[in-house]
Structure 1
């Protein structure tokens, strides 16, 4: 097998291989644009070898419904698992995730994903792989109690930080620059001898933004909690009991219906909303 094939860096069963090949071939036969992401893309950039339970493909929003419809017509079982970001393609117990943006409503797939994608090989097929900048962008905001993708971000930066397009990456985060800054600070803690993987100007840029914030006379007073952008579960108390407004709704990232559906899928959701009042109001 080609050493550069993504297959050489992950652990797949024969059933997974056959299923993935069939779906990828069907997508190409019907001229759908897609990018390979998830564990296969992560392993491509970092060399970290992992088991994977599924395959992630990223598509433009306007192709999402079309892809599921066509593959269903080809005999695959499909579902719109969470219509605001995720669908699935099944064969028995095997499945593929079809993604057009992040679960929090951010990181929508656009032409920039495709324009900066990287050519690779998967299961003997030529494929385009999700850009590393977009991988960091989407992984940086995954901070659930049961899943934190900070280590993945660190491994990508360590592996190819000097080759990343940092201008693009900083631009992707925009007003949510603190999230990227936080990961950059943690990277320096995790890898003190690898700090030059992040250009000096990036850290200086964030420090300048932080200094500008500190000098502002008026502080934000809109009572919006941005925590749900990072974790759908761990800030339920803030929104449901402490009077904070959910940033996902305020910024029109998700509708209330999307939020309700995504929240209802949290395992043991009642465990995350037990506090009766905000500690700020307690004396």
Structure 2
């Protein structure tokens, strides 16, 4: 199903049970006056015009709104579940799925009021909605570097499409002390599009490379921390389970608890 059908005719939507489900979920939340944002393939299509199939609909909500969202959707007959309390809930019916996302799997990109404040408005499947801001979309995608999935191509396409309107200062603030991850993607952009390197403001590249130089000249941290777990839930487990490194997802470095990381690790078996 093409993800770019942002303004598909309502009659066509009603004929497709999956699209009708997506539309009804969004309309139910609108009727209940619960704020949400559309992300995933629909957001990528909105910003870049790129069309690709999607197996579900990604809705972003604030964590404190999950109970209201779940109650409103259950009242319509849908099944809701909270498989990962630190970042993701799900809505199901007849084999179709909507993800309710309130953070990233690594606990970094938590949805807050600023997501809603900076979100553009459009229509998805005939429903007036807000789309995840491009800055937060890049922020949340930047850490996805699994063996089976890497979102770097999405990021360079988003930069190419939105560089002139993007709030680069806010993007930099979002990455905070994870600025090396942002620098890696901006560097990759210049490699992918060498003729378009000036799409990235020179000041942000100078700022980040200056930070890098200062780090290189300084002494490394004495704490044996592995931040690879922020990029992949599986590929760096050997470091924290066998090599003595501290997990950067956990307090005081990250936002997750040991129980949350255990649930997230257990899910690797089913790749859910």
Which TM-score band applies after superposition, normalised by the shorter structure? over 0.9
Other-structure match for 1:234: 235
Mapped contact 1:5–1:120 kept (Cα < 8 A): no
Following TM superposition, by how much is the alpha carbon of 1:214 offset from its aligned partner in structure 2, in angstroms? 2.0
Which stretch of structure 1 is more off in the superposition, 219-228 or 72-81? Answer: 72-81
Could you report, residue by residue, the CA deviation over 1:69-106 in whole angstroms, capped at 9, with x for unpaired residues?
Answer: 22112211111121111011111111100011101001
The total of aligned residue pairs comes to: 262
Match of 1:206 among 208, 228, 233: 208
TM-score, reference length from structure 1: 0.89
Mapped contact 1:60–1:110 kept (Cα < 8 A): yes
Q: Distance in 2 between matches of 1:63 and 1:183?
A: 32
Following TM superposition, by how much is the alpha carbon of 1:107 offset from its aligned partner in structure 2, in angstroms? 0.8
Q: Distance in 2 between matches of 1:78 and 1:165?
A: 35
Other-structure match for 2:222: 221
Q: Distance in 1 between matches of 2:254 and 2:166?
A: 30
Other-structure match for 1:165: 167
- RMSD value over aligned CA atoms? 1.6
Other-structure match for 2:6: 6
The DSSP-based 3-state class of the residue aligned with 1:249 is coil
Query: Residues 128 and 268 from structure 1, CA distance in 2 versus in 1: closer, same or farther, beyond 3 angstroms?
Result: closer
Unaligned runs of 5+ in 1: 270-283
Mapped contact 2:34–2:68 kept (Cα < 8 A): no
TM-score, reference length from structure 2: 0.93
Unaligned runs of 5+ in 2: none
* 1:17-36 matched pairs, under 5 angstroms: 17-36=19-38
Q: Distance in 2 between matches of 1:196 and 1:93?
A: 46
Other-structure match for 2:51: 49
Mapped contact 1:150–1:183 kept (Cα < 8 A): yes
Q: Distance in 2 between matches of 1:140 and 1:127?
A: 24
Following TM superposition, by how much is the alpha carbon of 1:149 offset from its aligned partner in structure 2, in angstroms? 0.3
The DSSP-based 3-state class of the residue aligned with 1:211 is helix
Could you report, residue by residue, the CA deviation over 1:216-261 in whole angstroms, capped at 9, with x for unpaired residues?
Answer: 2x32010010000000000011111111010101424111010000
Q: Does the alignment pair 1:149 with 2:145?
A: no
Which of the pair has more CA radius of gyration? 1
Other-structure match for 1:68: 70
Q: Distance in 2 between matches of 1:147 and 1:157?
A: 19
The DSSP-based 3-state class of the residue aligned with 2:161 is helix
Mapped contact 1:117–1:130 kept (Cα < 8 A): yes
Q: Distance in 2 between matches of 1:129 and 1:82?
A: 23
Runs of 4+ with deviation above 6 angstroms: none
